[in-house]
Amino acid sequence: MDKQRENGALLIAASIVAAIRLRGQEINPSPKLTATIKDSVQLARLVLPELERG
């Protein structure tokens, strides 16, 4: 997978994870929001290689 596609897949996966974790909450800049986004990106980075291996 080329780097641009990989970054796009990572962005989509992290966005979905963050949206699920933050559902029903107000989205305002806060330490909790920042932590949730960072955790979501980290999880997406762990999952992406597994998906590529199939």
Residues in the chain with pLDDT < 70? 1
Enumerate the H helices of 1-54 as residue ranges.
Answer: 3-22, 31-53
Residue 5 has what pLDDT? Answer: 87
Structural domain containing residue 37: 3-53
Residue 1 has what pLDDT? Answer: 63
Residue 24 to residues 27, 49, 54, Cα–Cα distance (Å): 9, 30, 33
First to last CA, the chain: 13
Domain count, the chain: 1
Collapsed DSSP state (helix, strand, coil) of residue 48: helix
